[in-house]
Amino acid sequence: MLPHVPRAIVALTRDADEHGEVWIAALDCGHRRHVRHRPPQSSYPWLTTEAARAAKIGAPLECTRCAASELPDGASVYKTTAEFDEHTLPAGLRREHTTRGGVWGRAEVLAGTMRFVMPALGIDRELTAGEHAIIPPELEHHVEARPGLRMRVAFLRVAPD
């Protein structure tokens, strides 16, 4: 079962391909999710009136793509850290920390081995050279350096429309 990752709805638009029945919820993580009111399988009665939809802006909706550590479509790198090794890896990365809302991380292992731990998604694994970990926004995580590690972190976000 996927972990729960609620994200805030930032916009709701009709899916033009689906005769107005299906809505696209843009979430603050950068993902888009299709929602429709078709009870009992899928019950979203608030989709049926404009006032109810407007009231849902800012409300949480589960994001299964965040739960699966999938980068959103259109996410691009806007900043990359310096390269760190086992001695220079900042304390801030070694203890529990998060990225800001809407900011994705990609922890890239260039040499050696790094442990990557993200409890909310049940992730605890060793990454080796050439591997990376995708870090969804606002989820606590930390890394541990093994001898010989060289790594860096790229930060990504989805450019506004």
Give the residues lining the site for Zn ion (CB under 5 A). 29, 31, 63, 65-66
In the complex, the smallest distance separating the C-beta of residue 71 from Zn ion, rounded to whole angstroms, is 10
Smaller CB separation from Zn ion, 44 or 129 = 44
Judge contact between 73 and 109, C-beta under 8 A.
no
- Among candidates 71, 58, 62, which has minimal Cα distance to 158? 71
In the bound complex, what is the minimum distance in angstroms from residue 129's beta carbon to Zn ion? 28
Query: By the 8 A CB rule, do 3 and 121 touch?
Result: yes
In the complex, what is the shortest distance from the CB of residue 137 to Zn ion, in angstroms, rounded to a whole number?
A: 8
Give the nearer residue to Zn ion in terms of CB position, either 145 or 158: 158
Least distance CB 31 / Zn ion (angstroms): 3
How many other C-beta atoms lie within 10 A of the C-beta of residue 116? 21
Of 72 and 145, CB closest to Zn ion = 72
With H, G, I as helix, E, B as strand and everything else as coil, classify residue 146. Answer: coil
The DSSP call for residue 13 is E
Q: Is the omega angle on the peptide bond into residue 40 within 30 degrees of 0, that is, cis? A: yes
**φ and ψ of 69, to 5 deg:** 55, 40
Query: Which residue's CB is nearer to Zn ion, number 56 or number 152?
Result: 56
